[in-house]
Amino acid sequence: MSSPETARLIAGLPRKRIGAGVLFVDESDRALLVEPTYKPYWEIPGGVVEDRESPHAAAAREVREELGLTVFPGGLLVVDWVPPGLYPDDGVMFIYDGGILTTDRTDAIVLQTEELRGWSWCDDAEAAERLPAVLARRVAAARTARKVGIPMYLEDGVRISVSGR
C-alpha cells in the first residue's frame, strides 16, 4: 500500500473523544469532586486527552492545571465507553487512582479559578446528588475498583463482565 493510500485509509478511520480523570479519596474514603465554572454539575479532577498525549499523562496534567498539585496517578481503575449523547461522537473515559489526599496535600490545592469554582469531599450519596448519572456510576465503579484492586470496564457507566461471570 502506498503512502497516499495509507493516508486516505487512516483519514477515514473513526475518531473517539478521550477523557481522563483521577479519583482522590480522603482518610474517610470520601471522593474529591470539583465544581466547574462552565458546567451545571460537579466532576472529578480531569479533562480532555490532548492530541498525541496519553490518558495517564493527561490525568496528571489536568490535576496540575486544575488543583495545582503535581501527582503521578496510580493504577487504572476504570475504562468507560460512552455513547453519543451530550456530544455527537462516542468516547472513552479513563479514571486513575490518585490515592489518599491528606490534609497537608489538600492545604496545597490552588484552584484554577477560570475553570473551577470549588472542591469538596463527598460520600457516595453526596456524589450521586452532585454528579450526572453516568459520571456517578463511573465514580462509584472506580471506588469499588480501588477497594478490590481490579480495574473495571464500563459502557455508559455500567459494568460489563469481560470474563463471562
What is the reported pLDDT for 2?
67
Inter-residue contact 116 to 37 (CB < 8 Å): yes
Least Cα distance to 32 among 115, 112, 114, 102 occurs for 102
What DSSP string describes 45-79? SEEEPPTT--HHHHHHHHHHHHH-------SEEEE
The pLDDT tens digits of the residues spanning 25-61 come to 999 999 999 999 999 999 999 999 999 999 999 999 9
Name the residue ranges covered by the structural domains of the chain: 15-156
What is the reported pLDDT for 51?
94
Inter-residue contact 139 to 127 (CB < 8 Å): yes
User: Quick one: cell of 44?
Assistant: 472529578
65 versus 3: the higher-pLDDT residue is: 65
Tell me what the mean pLDDT of segment 8-37 comes to: 93
Pick the CATH number of 15-156 from 3.40.250.10, 3.90.79.10, 3.90.226.10, 3.30.450.20: 3.90.79.10
- Residue whose C-alpha cell reads 446528588 in the numeric block: 129
Tell me what the mean pLDDT of segment 95-101 comes to: 98
* Separation in Å, CA 106 to CA 49, 81, 82, 101: 24, 31, 31, 6
What is the reported pLDDT for 14?
82
**Cβ-proximal residues to 109 (8 Å cutoff; 6+ apart), any chain:** 67, 68, 69, 119
What is the reported pLDDT for 85?
83
Task: Give 12's pLDDT tier (boundaries 50, 70, 90).
Answer: confident
pLDDT at residue 3 greater than cutoff 70: yes
96 versus 5: the higher-pLDDT residue is: 96
Which segments of 1-132 does DSSP mark as H helices, in order?
A: 3-11, 55-67, 103-106, 124-130
pTM of the model as a whole:
0.91
Least Cα distance to 32 among 40, 42, 41 occurs for 42
Tell me what the mean pLDDT of segment 57-77 comes to: 97
Instruction: Pick the range with the lowest mean pLDDT from 45-59, 73-87, 140-154.
Output: 73-87
Task: Give 164's pLDDT tier (boundaries 50, 70, 90).
Answer: low
